[in-house]
A and B are shown apart, each in its own frame.
Chain A
Amino acid sequence: MSTREQRERIELLQGTLDLLILRTLRLGPAHGHAIAKAIEFRSDDVLQVEQGSLYPALHRLIKRGWISVQDGTSENNRRAKFYRLTARGRRQLDVETSKWQKLAGAIARILKPAEQGGES
């Protein structure tokens, strides 16, 4: 990994990993490795997720009842743990998404005038 590459990657905000996992699982059940890959792929490799940190987050979500876990078979015919979004998790995802959008919008509005001020 080059230094340039690293500079462009962004550390995840606290709690956003949970949101990303829920969003990913909305597309269907997946095993841990697949979730990590999906997040990396869908964010065009901008978001840097240390793959290990996925697991405490997954367990946190299981404990809250937002996702469930079951045995399944992976694409290359291996036994693996599959994580699946629960009904509660689906509701939570909606709540979190709208919260996140509100937050992102608010931050964008705050940052915008400052940029303009800097230009003039």
Chain B
Amino acid sequence: MIRRKRMMEDLDQDIRDHLEMETQDNIERGMSPEEARYAALRKFGNVTRVKEETREVWTFVWLEQLFQDVRFGLRMLRKSPGFTAVAVLTLALGIGANTAIFSIVNSVLLRPLAYREAQQLYLVREIIPELSRTYPSLPANLPNFRVWQRECHSFAEVAIVMSTGAMLTGYGEAEDINGGLASANLFDVLGIMPELGRTFLPQEDTPGKDHVVMLTNSFWRDRFQGDPKIVGRSITLDHQPFQVVGILPASFRFPKGDQFSASTGFPLRADYFKPLGLDPAQFSPLGEFDYAAIARLKPETSARQALAELDVIQARIAKDAKQGLGLRAEIIPLESAVVGTARRGLLLLLAGVGAVLLIVCLNLANLLLVRAPGRLREAGIRTALGASRARLARQLVTESALLAILGGVLGIGLAYFGLRWLVAVAPANLPRMDEVHVDARVLWFTVFISMLTGILFGALPAWRVAHAEPQQALKAGAVTITEGRPARRLRESLIGFEVGVGTLLLIVAGLLTTSMVRLLGVDKGFSTEHVLAANITLPPWSYTKFAQKQEFYENVLARVRALPGVKSAGWISRLPLQGEEKVDNIYVAGQLTPSSQASVANYRYVSPGYFESMGILLRRGRLIEPADRDRNVALISESVAKKVWPGENPLGKQFYPGSDEKTLAEVIGVVADIRTVALDEPPLMMVYLPIGCARPWSGSYSSLVVRAAVAPSALASAVRGAIQSVDSGVPIRHLEPMSEIVSESVGVRRFQMGLASLFAIFALLLAALGIYGVVGYSVARRRQELGIRMALGAQGSALRTLILLHGMSPVVVGWASGVLAALVAGRVIRGLLFGVSAQDPLTIASVTFVVLVTAALACYIPARRAMKVDPMVALRYE
């Protein structure tokens, strides 16, 4: 820039010198001084143009023109603040929403798991073909894992992990902490280096040497204030010393909740990891499928090869077990196992939010087109003065790019807050939400979509204006230029498109909402009204004997039942919708080997009072009574009765409740089926055993269910007091109405439904704004024509109808195509629906109603305004 300035100053001097020399030459040739000077100038040519051309040598012309365009664009935007505000705001909302949703998609679906070469990691699950109707696949089992470790050459390494928990004492307040019980090589398989200390050693897998733990970074910071000296020291878990050998890095994440499978449900927050220290000899090869097995495949091995090898090993294991059951395996890329079903929902949301941005673009294109005739005059003048079409178009596109950039900048701000809000309201079991943040890829995405939107909504109007005929534009004044049919068609088809996309979004959102309503209204088999539930864990050191635990449970029941407002109360080992617990066969007496119809049931341990409190109906026989507490009796659900004793009276039948059981249980009653693990999954077969029976159940955790005569939350503190009055050392985890638990179980759906509805409503409002703008504009244009019609005696109502019909015709076309698109798209979203067909007529009818009424309203307001016009004023209006 400095050089350019100096060169230009030199140039002036140079040209002056040149002209003087030439003049001098001419004088010498005999011209008069004046004549000589003119001749010199003539010979030199246009001084200004020479300077201009020379300056161009030293500058980027396009850059200067760009500055010009930007300055001019900003001036134009300032001149119409209303339009600018609407444009920037809708763009910011559109771009912001897209950025926020893309951040989630980016973190959950696009970014690889934070493990070394994560694409080589696979989750291994086992398949027992005989059970595959109820359980398509199962988590891994410990002895089989040992076999794979020894024999499967496709695996570079394989590790297993299951959830565990312990009570931390001796360091401030006692705390229930959660974590993983892992084979010593877990962190090697994942490729995680400790931040401090070391990971587990191979020998720490064996019983007796396993009293070591690794702490997660967040737990270490929260609980031990990030003290590095804790490494090497002992902490007390369940009254036993464990040496802290290492601290995991802050970047370490572990799949949570049911992302691996219901029966290895991991805590939402892992605090520590401990080596297995279990003896494989204690476990049977075809039971206890409790572990998540994570394998790292050798780089040269394909998943298919690995599976083939594994299936051979599995077949041999099954043969050796001689239980008449088959055994296969399945391997799933760890990433898809973690993300699971969240993928489809997220992609749907991304598509939805993209559609919203599309509508924003269409809307702005329309608003710009509406403004175009005003700009035509300006464009006409500029064309007449010699501006090229390309130059004109570039200037207009610069204007829309400016809008897009402003919208984008504001949008990033909105996205930042929107994202924080989304992460806060997202259900806890949506995978990887704790990893969500805005990274470079997200910012590039925003830049990209901002530019794209700028071009998208700017190109069409720019083209229109740039191709205007200057003569026509300059004739008579822009206002009276008749709007060509093509221009109107263009705007109407944009409106149609907007309405179509909006209708599609509304139908999808409507279907998701209907699904949600159906889901919450589904016959759960239990009732949630007036029911309060609490999860407790008994500290293992103070409750060492089974009888102590029984005593605690009975004492609590007695105290809670005595509370005013309590109708009934009971215990169950695990609440509905909170995962599975013991899953095992029902071995009917007399047929010791389970046949292929062997029925796998969910087992729960219950106290008297549970069924009354949960509102589960008794179908036959009787419920568990206090006298049954240690009798070998059982209640079964209706589906068990149907499946195991079809056509027979199940009462009095006997069976072994599980493969390890030596004593028979007698069926004393049949209760209603319930939705066991999720509202959208059909009821599972249930077997209920008395809480006091001497079955292999630790009894150290349980859930109290209380039916109240009043609102359940009003009883919460009284119930808490009653539990603590029995033993104040027993931690109460959740104490909440059962309706909350049901509501949490559908959190992911609610999240999807909420966002989809938000986007759909936004889309509808945008479309309405577009319709309003277009109809309002055409009414304004036709004021003169309408005035003439009125002056000639046309009825106001007739004119109103005319305008409404004109306004509504593209809406109807758009609506129809939106419905058609929804019918086609139905196939894609079917998997996200529950209890409603993708072509649900009621949903489509309601959406139709909403769309048409909104559109009619958007047409009616400007139409009514037109009718208030005094014909004389309208005729004079120019």
Contacts and interface: CB of A to CB of B under 8 A. Distances in A.
Contact of B18 (A32, A53, A76): A32
A91 interface: no
Contacts of B45: 50-53
B710 interface: no
Contact of B57 (A32, A33, A52, A63): A63
Contacts of B57: 56, 59-60, 63
B212 to A, nearest CB: 71
Contacts of A80: 14, 17
A5 B417 CA distance: 77
Contacts, number: 63
A62 interface: yes
B54 A59 contact: yes
Interface in A30-44: 31-33, 36-37
Given A31-B17, A59-B11, A50 B43 contact: yes
B54 to A, nearest CB: 5
A55 B7 contact: no
Interface in B42-80: 43-47, 49-50, 53-54, 56-58
Contact of A32 (B17, B43, B49, B56): B17
Interface residues of A, number: 21
A24 to B, nearest CB: 15
Query: How many interface residues does chain B have, given as a range?
Result: 20 to 34
Interface string B33-49: 00000000001111101
A37 B29 CA distance: 14
Interface in B1-46: 7, 10-11, 13-15, 17-18, 21-22, 24-25, 43-46
A81 interface: yes
Interface in A46-80: 50-53, 55-56, 59-60, 62-63, 69, 74, 76, 78, 80
Nearest to B22: A33
A20 B630 CA distance: 115
Nearest to B7: A59
Interface centre among A31, A32, A53, A59 (most CB of B within 10 A): A59
Contacts of A56: 50, 53-54, 56-57
B53 A81 contact: no
Contacts of B21: 33, 74, 78
A60 B15 CA distance: 16
Contacts of B22: 33, 51
A111 B521 CA distance: 93
Contacts of A78: 17, 21
Contact of B14 (A60, A76, A81): A81
B369 to A, nearest CB: 42
Contacts of A33: 17-18, 21-22
A51 B43 contact: yes
Given A59-B7, A59-B11, A51 B18 contact: yes
Contacts of A76: 24
B51 to A, nearest CB: 8
A61 to B, nearest CB: 9
Nearest to B52: A56
Contacts of B18: 31-33, 36, 51
Contacts of B10: 69, 81
B44 A52 contact: yes
Nearest to B24: A76
B54 A55 contact: yes
Nearest to A83: B14
Contact of A55 (B15, B24, B58): B15
A37 to B, nearest CB: 8
Interface in B851-872: none
Given A51-B43, A55-B54, A81 B13 contact: yes
A65 to B, nearest CB: 13
A56 B53 CA distance: 6
A52 B17 contact: no
Contacts of A63: 57-58
Interface string B713-730: 000000000000000000
Interface string B112-155: 00000000000000000000000000000000000000000000
B39 to A, nearest CB: 10
A53 B43 CA distance: 10
A49 to B, nearest CB: 9
Nearest to A71: B10
Contacts of B54: 55-56, 59
Interface centre among A31, A51, A76 (most CB of B within 10 A): A51
Nearest to A60: B57
Contacts of B24: 76
Contacts of A53: 45, 50, 53
A60 B50 CA distance: 12
Given A60-B57, A62-B7, A74-B21, A52 B49 contact: yes
A33 B58 CA distance: 22
Given A31-B17, A69-B10, A81-B10, A59 B58 contact: yes
Given A33-B21, A59-B54, A52 B7 contact: no
Interface centre among A32, A36, A52 (most CB of B within 10 A): A52
Nearest to A51: B44
Interface of A: 31-33, 36-37, 50-53, 55-56, 59-60, 62-63, 69, 74, 76, 78, 80-81
23 contacts: A31-B18, A32-B17, A33-B22, A36-B18, A37-B25, A50-B43, A50-B44, A51-B43, A52-B45, A52-B47, A52-B49, A53-B50, A55-B15, A55-B50, A56-B56, A59-B54, A59-B57, A62-B7, A63-B58, A69-B10, A76-B24, A78-B21, A81-B10
Given A52-B15, A52-B50, A55-B15, 14 more contacts: A33-B18, A36-B18, A50-B44, A51-B43, A52-B49, A53-B45, A55-B11, A56-B50, A56-B54, A59-B58, A69-B10, A80-B17, A81-B13, A81-B17
**Sorted from nearest, which 5 A-B pairs have the closest CB atoms?**
A52-B45, A52-B50, A56-B53, A50-B45, A33-B21
